[in-house]
Amino acid sequence: MRSFKLFSSLRSISKPALLAVLLSAFVACDSGGETLTEDPVATKNPILFVTQTPFHSTFDMITATFGNHMGGPNQVPRGGDLMIAYPDGSLRNLTEEAGFGVKSGEEIAVREPCVHWSGTRAIFSMVIGGTVKNELDPKFWQIYEITGLGKDESASIKRVENQPEGFNNVSPVYASDGRIIFTTDRPRSGKMLHYPQLDEYESVQTNTGLWSFDPSVSGGDLKILTHVPSGAFSPKVALDGRVVYVRWDHLQIDQQAHADITEGAGYGSFDYVSEDSEEKAASMHEPFPEPWLNGGEAPAPYHRHQFNQFFPWQINQDGTDEETVNHVGRHEFIGFIDSSRDDLPYQGASEEHPPFVNFFHIMEDPANPGRFYGTNSPEFGTHSSGEIVAFDGQLEVNAADMYPIHVTGPVSYDAPEASGSEAEGAHGRYRNPLPLSDGTLVAVHTPDTRQETGEGEGPFGNKTYKFRIRHLEKEEGSNYMVAGAPITKGISKKFTYFDNQSFTDVSYDGPMWELDPVEVIVRPTPFARTAAVPDIERAIIDETLASSGGYEALVQYLKDNNYALLISRDVTRRADEQQPFNLSIPGGVSTIREGADIIDEIQFIQFFQADQVRAYTNHREGRRPIPREMHDAPDGGETLKGAYRLGADGSFAALVPAGRALSWQLSSPDGAPVVRERYWVTSQPGEIRVCPNCHGVNETDVVMNQPSPQNPPQALAPLLQSIFN
């Protein structure tokens, strides 16, 4: 068997000879009974991708659905490379050619390349080392840029300057203005007291959201675009200028703390007095959302709120206007949603448009801008592989008209236990869909449909998954697509390095996984979209602040104080029935369905901010965000902390802290919760965000069947006057 080997002496020979030797290194490989001699079919344009040494664990690893950002060799086995495949079938190992991963003790792993609009360079994340005996210092993913992608050029790779050091910086993409947008586990506050952030589900390390920096500026002018308590993944700059990405959302009671309280589970959960304190609080406090009783249910007549989804989101490149793509809801894409109370209906799954469960690896179709592909995968056991799905999310498409499109067929999602039979009718599992500019589609594919077996010893024990990049083609007699020819002959590698976890040398000799493909093409640089204040609210601002500097003075005040301004016109108007929708403001407007048995009065909107105050004594470092009544911005001076009183017309205007995840609820005159927001949302300093009503309508509300309210919000002018008078 011939294997790809490391040639440290190649740097001294000529470029044509170097390429010839490199290309000859990629040969057919037979390892463990598997032959990789299938004839490849090249793509029209070059494909940049990474190789990854196979492994069996699917929890908190590079291929996992969450916690995949960490750089230790036990989270991402070394040995991978950045590769490029050309239309003539030739291959280059770009990282080795540039001198990376060729020295003992400096083995590498790479991930998620992004090609520049010019098609001449790309950025990607790489982690180096951690493979020297007793070298226990943490190793971090950092962002690198490569030039020399042309077939007759020489590869050069440099670390991108002015990015955060000492943190895992992954999923980088080029912004329209030269900045780089990425995810990182840098704390939102920048304080190591808050590192690492722990997610809201398993309370394990997560990234803190989307960030951006300017490589040309000392210090990077680092900005947080959205603070996501449980993590954001795979951002992409769409051709229309939006940043689309995947968010992991929960906003539920801490299940580890609940298990401690009700079962003595042993997580050792506790709260700190505040984010900046290391003093333990006397008790734990979770004021939002629905509480859980000892049996795990909410107090009657309320229903337990347990929320766990990966969903497509969008944001402007400056971090403004964060929302799900086109404001699409769970009921449009995910299907079944239990109601929050006994007297309310639940939303069932669509039979006409079957939903998906999760959405990963988002990628836009360059031949059909606004169509986004992704992977519908189980949360565990499959290296985030499953079914290829898509949806049409062009800016002009109303969320009510957005439907899941099943590309490889729903059966591809199924993943029987490793000891069971194959998923009947499936043709393997898929991830990393890549729609190409010629209208064709490739994706990463493995023929096995079962969950990961976990067989083998050490970090390279994978016996199940064999990820290769393949063309997708129509299945005969079906509307679905299946895996066709690969784009390479298969890539093998042989190496040994020291593993500090097992404290022994580990060796690998066999096929490498092919992951994260992107097409190397020239694309127009998108126009960066910005937030705009609607004419209705702008007129109130201009009139009220005519003698105080007007709109510009308001924006400057918000920036100076790290605030954003949130405005809504009529919160009694609702777009769903999952929570109370027959709403009335005492002495003000009401939106009530004829014959309604129960009418809920609302008087306040109360805001909550995600404070990192929850921690655990079971050897988990870091802190989990917990909702706390808003305290980093002034409230309306009501008895209810963090609250503003609603206007008689159903409106509100509120100052909120920027750069921090927030949520909110509509409360009754006595402060009892009535309608709760289900997501965390981040605003930018100086942002003025207008939502006509809470959970804005797509076409009409569910009670009056009327479009979005157009009333000038009565609550806005008094707030502006209180700021400038």
pLDDT at 371: 98
pLDDT at 21: 34
Structure tokens at 513: 């996984």
The sign of the torsion formed by the CA atoms of 67, 73, 79, 82 equals positive
Closest by CA to 312, choosing from 364, 389, 215, 246, is 246
Contact indicator for 452, 380 with CB cutoff of 8 Å: no
User: Omega before 301 cis (within 30°)?
Assistant: yes
Structure tokens at 708: 């979005």
Structure tokens at 405: 């499109």
**Nearby residues of 61 by Cβ (< 8 Å), 6 or more positions away:** 55, 67, 68, 75, 76, 383
Taking residues 256-265, what's their average pLDDT?
93
pLDDT at 19: 37
Q: Which residue has the higher pLDDT, 330 or 376?
A: 376
Residue 601 clears pLDDT 60, i.e. is over it: yes
Structure tokens at 4: 């790809």
Closest by CA to 42, choosing from 4, 88, 74, 7, is 88
Question: Any idea which residue has 């448009």 for tokens?
Answer: 353
DSSP, collapsed to helix, strand or coil, labels residue 410 as helix
Structure tokens at 468: 């290769």
Of the pLDDT bands very low, low, confident and very high (cuts 50, 70, 90), residue 2 is very low
CA–CA–CA angle 389, 392, 396 (5° rounding): 165
Question: pLDDT per residue over 388-410, tens digit each?
Answer: 999 999 999 999 899 999 999 99
pLDDT at 458: 59
pLDDT at 37: 60
Contact indicator for 212, 180 with CB cutoff of 8 Å: yes
Taking residues 18-30, what's their average pLDDT?
35
Predicted TM-score of the model (pTM): 0.93
Question: pLDDT per residue over 525-544, tens digit each?
Answer: 999 999 999 999 999 999 99
How far from chain centre, in Å, is Cα 213? Answer: 18
Of the pLDDT bands very low, low, confident and very high (cuts 50, 70, 90), residue 30 is very low
Question: Any idea which residue has 């990963």 for tokens?
Answer: 360
Q: What is the number of other CB atoms lying within 10 angstroms of the CB of residue 701?
A: 24
Contact indicator for 38, 471 with CB cutoff of 8 Å: no
Contact indicator for 598, 666 with CB cutoff of 8 Å: no
DSSP state of 537: H
177 φ/ψ angles, rounded to the nearest 5 degrees? -105, 15
DSSP, collapsed to helix, strand or coil, labels residue 548 as coil
Distance CA 291, CA 275 (A): 22
Question: Any idea which residue has 């062009």 for tokens?
Answer: 394
Burial class (CB in 10 A: 0-12, 13-18, 19+), 233: buried
C-alpha pair distances (Å), 430 with each of 22, 400, 441, 464: 29, 28, 12, 14
Closest by CA to 146, choosing from 162, 129, 124, is 124
For the CA atoms of the chain, what is the radius of gyration?
26
pLDDT at 296: 80
Taking residues 616-631, what's their average pLDDT?
93
In the chain, % of residues over pLDDT 70: 93
Closest by CA to 49, choosing from 519, 485, 365, is 519
Taking residues 5-9, what's their average pLDDT?
31
How far from chain centre, in Å, is Cα 146? Answer: 25
The 3-state secondary structure of 436-487 reads CCCCCEEEEEECCCCCCCCCCCHHHCCCCCCCEEEEEEECCCCCCEEEEEEC
Taking residues 456-480, what's their average pLDDT?
83
Burial class (CB in 10 A: 0-12, 13-18, 19+), 218: exposed
Of the pLDDT bands very low, low, confident and very high (cuts 50, 70, 90), residue 306 is confident
Distance CA 463, CA 441 (A): 27
Question: pLDDT per residue over 413-445, tens digit each?
Answer: 988 887 777 777 888 999 999 999 999 999 999
Distance CA 367, CA 436 (A): 7
How far from chain centre, in Å, is Cα 577? Answer: 27
pLDDT at 23: 36
C-alpha pair distances (Å), 452 with each of 384, 525, 676: 11, 40, 38
Structure tokens at 650: 């159903």
Structure tokens at 84: 């490029």
DSSP, collapsed to helix, strand or coil, labels residue 192 as helix
327 φ/ψ angles, rounded to the nearest 5 degrees? 65, 30
Q: What is the number of other CB atoms lying within 10 angstroms of the CB of residue 395?
A: 14
User: What's at 555, amino acid-wise?
Assistant: V
Residue 22 clears pLDDT 60, i.e. is over it: no
Of the pLDDT bands very low, low, confident and very high (cuts 50, 70, 90), residue 696 is confident
C-alpha pair distances (Å), 209 with each of 223, 276, 319, 349, 383: 11, 20, 11, 30, 21
In the chain, % of residues over pLDDT 90: 78
Structure tokens at 42: 């090249």
208 φ/ψ angles, rounded to the nearest 5 degrees? -105, 0
Of the pLDDT bands very low, low, confident and very high (cuts 50, 70, 90), residue 177 is very high
The mean of the pLDDT values for the chain is: 91
User: What's at 342, amino acid-wise?
Assistant: D
User: What's at 595, amino acid-wise?
Assistant: G
> Helices (H), strands (E): how many in the chain?
7, 40
The sign of the torsion formed by the CA atoms of 222, 223, 227, 231 equals negative
Per the rule left: phi > 0, alpha: psi between -120 and 50, beta: everything else, 292 is: beta
C-alpha pair distances (Å), 110 with each of 119, 215, 515, 670: 20, 20, 10, 55
Closest by CA to 274, choosing from 631, 706, 721, 675, is 631
Question: pLDDT per residue over 39-76, tens digit each?
Answer: 999 999 999 999 999 998 888 899 999 999 999 999 99
Contact indicator for 589, 570 with CB cutoff of 8 Å: yes
DSSP state of 354: -
Give 82-146 as a DSSP string.
EEEE-TTS-EEEHHHHTT-S-STT--EEEEEEEE-TTSSEEEEEEEE---STT--S----EEEEE
Taking residues 608-630, what's their average pLDDT?
94
Contact indicator for 43, 91 with CB cutoff of 8 Å: no
Distance CA 169, CA 186 (A): 8
Structural domains in the chain? 8-253+289-519 (2.120.10.30), 535-724 (no CATH)
Strands 604-615 and 387-392: unpaired
Beta strands across the sheet bearing 405-406 = 360-364, 371-376, 387-392, 405-406
Q: Round to the nearest angstrom and report the end-to-end CA distance of the chain.
A: 81
C-alpha pair distances (Å), 533 with each of 76, 288, 537: 45, 30, 7
Residue 129 clears pLDDT 80, i.e. is over it: yes
